[in-house]
Amino acid sequence: MHNPDGNLRVVVTKPLPGDRWLNVLTSSGCRVEVCTAEQTILDNDTIKTLIGSKCDGVIGQLTEGWNKDLFNALKAAGGRAYSNYAVGYNNVVVPDATAVGIPVGNTPGVLTETTAELAAALTMAASRRVVEADTFMRGGQYKGWLPTLFVGSLLQGKTVGIIGAGRIGTAYARMMVEGHKMDLLYYDPYPNKFLEEYVADYGKLLESKGEKPVTVRRCETVEEVLAKSDVVSLHCNLDEATKHLINKERLSKMKPDAVLVNAARGPVIDEAALVAHLQANPEFRCGLDVFEDEPDMKPGLAECNNAVIVPHIASATLWTRAGMATLAACNVAATLKGYPAWNKPDVLPFVDGPFEDIPKAAPSIVNAKELNLAMA
């Protein structure tokens, strides 16, 4: 417990990195109780026990199912604020929170480059067979250099495709285009003029230096991106339209030696179909940060040497994870203090700079409009 004399009780369902977030809450008069239970994923009964009979706000996790059951319990305890410690909120039934007048916060704006970097790392690790080679080396199997030992794929000058050209997809595309001079194909319901102009300008720069220019093109279908790309990275939201976006049929349209990367949401891929495709196509590779039934994997995936698998660590840099904590804390503290919602793209004033300069606003409230909240 932190600041036991605080008059506002805030429950945090997991320990969070950094201390700026904690200072935000305690300086706002909050008594902060952090759950330290060994249980990795808390069930609703456990969370309701944490809420108890008096609770003003909660910072919860994307692994928790925040629905009518929990929001009613929070409301009954006098709760007025909830923030997800995540940019996504597929785990939150927002209308259930709105129905009882509870604002729902999230933590956008600090995950862009961090997540894009992890997607790039998965791309490189899969294409160059880094994990396979590491396991081989640690197992004492290396007897000397061989011309055919762990031969992978060169990315330089190839084609990268992205599904979803939002902030993270754009950042990843720039890393691959600038770093490896890859041509870019992308699918998104909306044209990304900034990205198109950026790649076109970079192509002109390369041409002025006597190098082959890179190109960019928005495709009309997902299938075209899959068929023509050497690497495909997924950066779309998860909704009914994108669940199992990558299925057996679409996997069959990809190049036999392509690399598929997912650092978005697990259910975007039909994981059972992916396992079958990996088993049938040993030159096909993937890099996965998220899984359909997280934390579980579909049978057979762990045995696929052509899959690089990591445990949902796309946001796992100290700056990002601490920044997420600060944003979540600001969402709760500002709501409890009656401050307006910020809801602007630039949230760095909350995360960086002097503590006393943190804006008096809630950085991101996803149901601000529905609750008719004042805007900063």
What pLDDT digit, counting tens, does each position of 44-82 carry? 999 999 999 999 999 999 999 999 999 999 999 999 999
Tell me, yes or no, if the two domains 8-110+316-357 and 112-309 fold the same way: yes
pLDDT tens digits, residue range 217-227?
999 999 999 99
In this prediction, residue 128 carries a pLDDT of 98
In this prediction, residue 17 carries a pLDDT of 96
Give the predicted TM-score (pTM) of the model.
0.90
The DSSP secondary-structure symbol of 220 reads: S
Q: How confident is the model at residue 249 (pLDDT cuts 50, 70, 90)?
A: very high
Q: How far is CA 184 from the centre of its chain?
A: 22
Average pLDDT, the chain: 97
Active-site hit among 113, 196, 294, 370: 294
113: tokens are 């480059």
Mean pLDDT over residues 290-306, rounded? 97
Distance in angstroms (rounded) separating the CA atoms of residues 348 and 366: 18
Distance in angstroms (rounded) separating the CA atoms of residues 87 and 237: 11
Length of the chain measured in residues: 376
Q: Which residues contact 143 (CB under 8 A, 6 or more apart)?
A: none
Annotation marks residue 265 as catalytic: yes
Percent of the chain with pLDDT over 90: 97
pLDDT surpassing 90 at residue 23: yes
In this prediction, residue 343 carries a pLDDT of 85
Annotation marks residue 277 as catalytic: no
Percent of the chain with pLDDT over 70: 100
Annotation marks residue 294 as catalytic: yes
Active-site hit among 80, 235, 250, 265: 265
Q: How confident is the model at residue 107 (pLDDT cuts 50, 70, 90)?
A: very high
Q: Is the distance from CB of 202 to CB of 177 less than 8 angstroms?
A: yes
Selected from 2.60.40.420, 3.90.1150.10, 3.40.50.720, 2.40.30.160, the CATH number assigned to the domain covering 112-309 reads 3.40.50.720
pLDDT tens digits, residue range 322-366?
999 999 999 999 999 999 999 888 999 999 999 999 999 999 999
Active-site hit among 2, 174, 244, 312: 312
Class in CATH terms, 8-110+316-357:
alpha beta
Query: What is the side-by-side order of every strand in the sheet holding 231-234?
Result: 216-218, 183-187, 159-163, 231-234, 259-262, 285-288, 307-309
Please state the domain extents for the chain: 8-110+316-357, 112-309
Q: How confident is the model at residue 133 (pLDDT cuts 50, 70, 90)?
A: very high
Q: Is the distance from CB of 26 to CB of 32 less than 8 angstroms?
A: yes
In this prediction, residue 111 carries a pLDDT of 93
